Amino acid sequence: MKVLIYSTKEFELEKLKKANNNKHKITYVSDALDSTTATLAAGYDAISIFSGDDASLVVLEILKELEVRYISLRSAGYNNVSVKSAKRIGLRVANAPEYSPHAIAEHAICLVLGWNRRLITANKQVQQYNFLLNNLIGFNLDGKTVGIIGTGRIGSILVKLFHAFGCELLATDLVHNHFLENQYDLEYVSLKELCKRSDIISINVPLTSDTHYMLNTPLFQVMKPNAVLVNTARGGIVHTGDLLKALKNGTIGGYATDVYEKEKGIFFRDNSFSGISDEQLKELIALPNTLVTPHQAFVTEEALQNIAETTIYNLDCWEENRTCKNELEYGTVIL
């Protein structure tokens, strides 16, 4: 199969080549997929895209005209793809749903600990030979209440990890995981109740029309004033404008995030010389009660290897006319 891989990152290239092992004729480009770069796919049977690529209806229609038949995502989330439209016009789409939920869950824990124990501030102080502790006071995780929004693959691992810290656990989800309830004393409550009672709140749901701006002013107002919100899912689940107000006026204690709702054109590139023009992101980064990482949760050796292997597996299935277990149907929920 002839394949074009969009948004190729330097850190994933060798793993993709190794997983392919010369089976498919692959071309790698650093360009992101959008309405202007879709024409690069002319003459290819399939493309592979990343989470920041644009696979909206207008782009899908261009790909269809170019006789592209398959799209393999190198991500679990697929909010950037109009799956319903793809199916309607005859494009088949698959994702990489299980590349490493541990990588994401463990990064969420890193964000909690890094924010709580002021590790970034401490490191900067020590580099300046400042060993004072006055502004480095955190809190014990033991005995704190943690709210898990979404107990799918990632959320389930977080339940186990926070339980090991001695935390009391709340969750909200459409489907209750009875194993977690029985083994880890997990209590399912409404989203509003979770926000009221939790000291730490972790977001682990996909970005859909139902979850877009799920966390907003009404929920911020019921949170504890020292609560920290942790986001390793998608930036658009949190209303950034409402969040900034809540952080600045002390409605909530802090925000630790690996994602941002308007990442496209900013994340996954070096903007140190050109700067950025997104004023909300500038403000978010500058606040003293935030910790922002550059969508790096998935970047572990194991996760990158799994993503590469899953991408090639999806292509193999289509070429060999086999059922692809990762193929998406409209309405599928993954995270």
251-267 pLDDT tens trace: 999 999 999 999 988 99
Helix, coil or strand: residue 145: strand
Give pLDDT, residue 77.
86
- 247 shares a domain with 230: yes
How many angstroms separate the Cα of 299 from the Cα of each of 13, 22, 104, 323? 13, 24, 9, 29
| Candidate list 106, 168, 261, 263, residue with the active-site label | 263
Shared domain for 11 and 64, answered yes or no, is: yes
Q: Are residues 269 and 172 in the same domain?
A: yes
Candidates 74, 118, 239, 295; catalytic one: 295
Residue 331 lies in a domain: no
Residue 44: left if φ>0, alpha if ψ -120 to 50, beta else—which one?
beta
Backbone angles phi, psi at 56, to 5 degrees: -75, 175
Q: In this structure, what DSSP letter does residue 290 have? A: E
**pLDDT (0 to 100) of residue 175:** 96
Read off the DSSP letter of residue 71. Answer: E
14 assigned to active site = no
Tell me the CA distances in angstroms from 325 to 95, 97, 313, one per residue in order: 9, 10, 10
Q: Supply φ then ψ for residue 96, to 5 degrees.
A: -120, 80
d(CA 241, CA 222): 17
pLDDT in tens, 225-236: 999 999 999 999
| Active-site residue, from 107, 197, 234, 239 | 234
Please indicate, yes or no, if residue 328 is contained in any of the structural domains. no
Same domain, 94 and 43: yes
- Per the annotation, the verdict on 295 as an active-site residue is yes
**Residue 264: predicted pLDDT:** 87
Residue 332's pLDDT band, with cuts at 50, 70 and 90, is very low
Do 83 and 110 reside in the same domain of the chain?
no
| Rounded CA separation 198/6 (Å) | 40
**Domain identity same for 272 and 153:** yes
Whether residues 82 and 115 share a domain: the answer is no
The conformation of residue 33, written as its DSSP 8-state character, comes to P
Q: In the chain, pLDDT over 90 holds for what percent of residues?
A: 94
Identify whether 165 is part of a domain: yes
Number of separate domains in the chain: 2
Q: Let me know the angle formed at the C-alpha of 26 by 25 and 27, rounded to the nearest 5 degrees.
A: 130
Same domain, 15 and 163: no
For residue 335, pLDDT over 50 is answered with: no
- pTM of the entire predicted model: 0.90
Tell whether 326 is covered by a domain: no
Instruction: Establish if 106 belongs to a structural domain.
Output: yes
178 is catalytic: no
Domain residues for the domain of 186 are 101-292
Q: Does residue 15 register a pLDDT over 60?
A: yes
66 with 173, same domain: the answer is no
Same domain, 153 and 197: yes
Residue 19 and residue 309 in contact, taking contact as beta carbons nearer than 8 Å: yes
